[in-house]
Amino acid sequence: MVRKAVIPAAGLGTRFLPVTKAQPKEMLPIIDTPTIQYVVQEAIDAGIEDILIISGKGKRAIEDHFDRSPELELLLNQKGKTEQFYEVSRLGEMANIHFIRQKELKGLGDAISYARQHTGDEPFVVMLGDTIIDSVIPVTQQLIDVYNQFCQSVIAVEEVAPEKVARYGIIAGKSIDERTYQLSGIVEKPKPAESPSNLAVAGRYILTPEVYSILDDLPPGVNNEIQLTDALQILLKRENIYAYRFEGRRHDIGNKLDYLKTTVEYALKRAEFAEPFMEFLKSVVAREKNYES
């Protein structure tokens, strides 16, 4: 049974400088909610209540966000701001959230190895702290359903444009059903001409504990980082691994353009903003068109 989630959130976020110089990219808001809160909510919606966040230097704001804030709660209560009071006090009790600090930023594989004591002999979910996935059924739940079928590691994948494969981990595998694949290989950031497919690893994984023994001895790979992809390639020699082409839309908040697009999409989904914001967007487009002609 999958009961625990690990959220790596220690990275420097260099693609989003300068804002990430002194604040975690995982705290960048989509309207009024930090990115990592969507990730934690996805875990909870999938029935997971034990979450380990891999934190690091400059990431205190994440810990504070999920902590109780008695002064703020008292103030909101006294001022009769009931809705805000419940929102803020809920955050301190969302789930059983633990933190551990990654001492050196040696890559995603290294970050995950810090979870070993916490997850022990159990399979666990890895959810990237800078990736949110908009879906009807939480993607983590979709992966758990596949795990329950095979009791082996499962990776969320999505199709990407062939010219973009060099940005992602890419899988090779044989299709088992419409959405499920059995892996035969996985490679980090392949050149388009050498890519085994256009199915990209999408920021959610269920891993078996066997991965830890591999991460222990793994040398640095692409970008001189300990790559989870390399560990999975070795794991594949010992166990089956499955990939699941999830239903939903992935948003990578660590990338400025994706961040902007996500903010617009989420604003249009919010009842209080949908209409006036759409009007605003239309007026911006009309103005730009006028300039063009």
Interface with ligand UTP by CB under 6 A: which residues?
8-16, 26, 54, 102, 105-108, 110-111, 128-130, 254
Shortest Å distance, C-beta 107 to ligand UTP: 5
Q: Report how far residue 43's alpha carbon sits from residue 50's, in angstroms, rounded to the nearest whole number.
A: 9
CB nearer ligand UTP, residue 117 or residue 293:
117
Give me the helix-helix angle, 70-78 and 82-91, nearest 10°: 160
SS3 of residue 190 by DSSP: coil
Tell how strand 199-207 and strand 153-159 pair up. antiparallel
Q: Are 111 and 215 in contact (CB under 8 A)?
A: no
Q: Locate 267 and state its tokens.
A: 């604003």
**How many other β-carbons are positioned within 10 Å of the β-carbon of residue 213?**
14
Quickly list H helices, 92-205: 108-113, 116-119, 139-150
CB nearer ligand UTP, residue 190 or residue 254:
254
CB nearer ligand UTP, residue 110 or residue 267:
110
Residue 37 parent element (H or E):
helix 35-45
Shortest Å distance, C-beta 222 to ligand UTP: 11
Residue 178 φ/ψ, nearest 5 degrees = -55, -35
CB nearer ligand UTP, residue 16 or residue 181:
16
CB nearer ligand UTP, residue 76 or residue 215:
215
CB nearer ligand UTP, residue 39 or residue 76:
39
CB nearer ligand UTP, residue 12 or residue 75:
12
Q: Locate 34 and state its tokens.
A: 């930090």
Question: In this chain, which residue has its C-beta nearest to ligand UTP?
Answer: 11
Shortest Å distance, C-beta 281 to ligand UTP: 28
Question: Which residue do the tokens 């300990």 mark?
Answer: 226
- Best CA proximity match to 240, nearest among 133, 178, 151, 118: 151
